[in-house]
Structure 1
């Protein structure tokens, strides 16, 4: 079965932003299935617009900034 974006429900989403990056913590459920946590990174391009980027490794300040968001998201995983 191919991926259907209409079946992917965003149940929670909060972001932390700097001048260069935005980290977003989300909870999704696909086709009313198991709820899952997603962490994504968007980086600013030369025009100042956010574009998707590989999350990769995170710095200590980034981790410290999104930990409260992760803890909040956990409540939506039940």
Structure 2
């Protein structure tokens, strides 16, 4: 099996929601023109204002309420 090639990983659709301490992104990605797949990711806001990737982990009720509609929109691209 060949190594992962980032140039073959394409964003089909992507939208983010900004929260007080993080940004959650819902996206649809396709690798090497393969089957599109849903991807959820989180970036935490550091003290200096920069974003750093983190495990998505658990979601608060507020996050779920904002992310679920984006997941519904993402379905159209799957």
Structure 1 and Structure 2 fold alike (TM over 0.5): yes
Distance in 2 between residues matched to 1:61 and 1:44, nearest whole Å:
17
Give the structure 2 partner of residue 74 of structure 1.
75
Unpaired runs of at least 5, structure 2: none
Runs of at least 4 residues off by over 2 Å: none
TM alignment of 1:24-43, pairs within 5 A? 24-43=25-44
* TM-score (normalised: structure 1): 0.95
CA distance in 2, matches of 1:12, 1:21: 20
For normalisation by structure 2, the TM-score amounts to 0.95
Shift of 1:46: 1.5
